[in-house]
Amino acid sequence: MKVVIGSRDSKLAVVQANMVIDFLRSAHAGCEVELATFKTTGDKILDRRLDQIGGKGLFVKELDSALRDGACDYTVHSCKDLPMEVPEDLPLVCFSAREDPRDVLVYPKGASEPDLSLPIGTSSRRREVQLRELFPQATFESVRGNLQTRLRKLDEGGYGALVLAAAGLKRMGLEERIGRYLTVDEVIPSAGQGVLAVQGRVDAVPALFVGFADKAVACAVRAERAFVARLDGGCTSPIAAHARVVGDAIEIRGLYYDEEKHEMRRGAKSGKAVDAVSLAKSLADELRG
């Protein structure tokens, strides 16, 4: 059996795709697995924020086309980069175990704290509105590009700190660059942060990924994505959600930013994991008011 895994062509995306490939090779003797990489529109346009050029869909459009055209059998995504609406003909097959979901501050090489005379680099309004509470004296500036490009811009003096996902740094072996972990209470993560999503066609074989898929994480991610979808949240909307499943219980934290009132609202709900989606929608409705 031959399986072709599709991925964006960034170093981090390839590392993540290879996590899936390594699993398939170890779990299915004789399975021939290949990697196919594709450059997405979101990787090409780096001079504007995502909300100015079309949002999260720009990171998946080419991969969706590759699935439909048969250029690959499955695609691997950072779950936080997926649009909330998934095409019916390209279902999400599974979700991985979750790497560290937290956001982190990365300082210039040799620094032990952020230099707030320079802007903090982030292209995420979700991160910015929450960090303004922690660092009211800070300024913020958009930074785009792959992980290596952002770190280079930081070390060259363009920023006093960067805000990044812990998961990406850890998967790239760059954990030592983390200056400060931001708790999920300080900065609620993006829905799906730290999780890999595998997408396929309607003829996908979920059994291939038994042992890679994490049912508890899948439940949490469905709740997070339901929260964001209820609020019509896109890639750069200041909306956040993080859920954790323990046994048959779930707790979900959410953030909603009212653009008209310039008001940030946080909340949380706990309940049975089987009610994850309805709990998430209820929390979204409460925060929207």
Render pLDDT for 69-94 as a digit per residue (tens, 0 to 9): 999 999 999 999 999 999 999 999 99
More confident residue, 55 or 139: 139
218 and 279, same structural domain?
A: yes
285 and 169, same structural domain?
A: no
Q: What does the pLDDT average to over 123-137? A: 95
Q: Of 135, 159, 182, which closes a domain?
A: 182
Residue 189: inside a domain: no
Q: What does the pLDDT average to over 128-155? A: 95
Residue 190: inside a domain: no
Rounded to whole angstroms, the Cα distance separating 229 from 244 reads 18
Render pLDDT for 28-71 as a digit per residue (tens, 0 to 9): 998 999 999 998 765 544 444 445 444 555 668 899 999 999 99
253 confidence band (pLDDT: 50, 70, 90): very high
The reported pLDDT for the residue numbered 52 is: 43
Annotated active-site residue in 43, 73, 81, 214? 81
80 and 3, same structural domain?
A: yes
Question: What is the percentage of the chain residues whose pLDDT exceeds 90?
Answer: 86
Q: What does the pLDDT average to over 116-135? A: 96
59 and 8, same structural domain?
A: yes
Please report, for the domain that includes residue 176, its CATH number: 3.40.190.10
H or E element at residue 53: helix 50-53
166 and 122, same structural domain?
A: yes
284 and 241, same structural domain?
A: yes
Question: Are 40 and 58 in contact, with CB atoms under 8 Å apart?
Answer: yes
Q: Which two tokens stand for residue 154?
A: 């930081």
The reported pLDDT for the residue numbered 237 is: 67
Rounded to whole angstroms, the Cα distance separating 184 from 90 reads 31
Please report, for the domain that includes residue 234, its CATH number: 3.30.160.40
93 and 5, same structural domain?
A: yes
The reported pLDDT for the residue numbered 74 is: 98
**What share of residues in the chain are helix, strand, coil (percent, to 5)?**
35, 25, 40
Number of structural domains (the chain) is 3
204 and 83, same structural domain?
A: yes
157 and 94, same structural domain?
A: no
169 and 132, same structural domain?
A: yes
Residue 12: inside a domain: yes
Residue 22: inside a domain: yes
267 and 127, same structural domain?
A: no
2 and 91, same structural domain?
A: yes
Structural domain containing residue 263: 214-289
pTM listed for this prediction:
0.92
Q: Residue 81 catalytic?
A: yes
The reported pLDDT for the residue numbered 54 is: 47
pLDDT exceeds cutoff 50 at 274: yes
The phi and psi torsions of 196 (rounded to 5 degrees) equal: -100, 135
Residue 82: inside a domain: yes
pLDDT exceeds cutoff 50 at 186: yes
- Nearby residues of 15 by Cβ (< 8 Å), 6 or more positions away: 171, 172
- Nearby residues of 278 by Cβ (< 8 Å), 6 or more positions away: none
Q: Whole-number mean pLDDT of the chain?
A: 92
**What is the end-to-end Cα distance of the chain in Å, rounded?**
52
Residue 187: inside a domain: no
Residue 188: inside a domain: no
Residue 37: inside a domain: yes
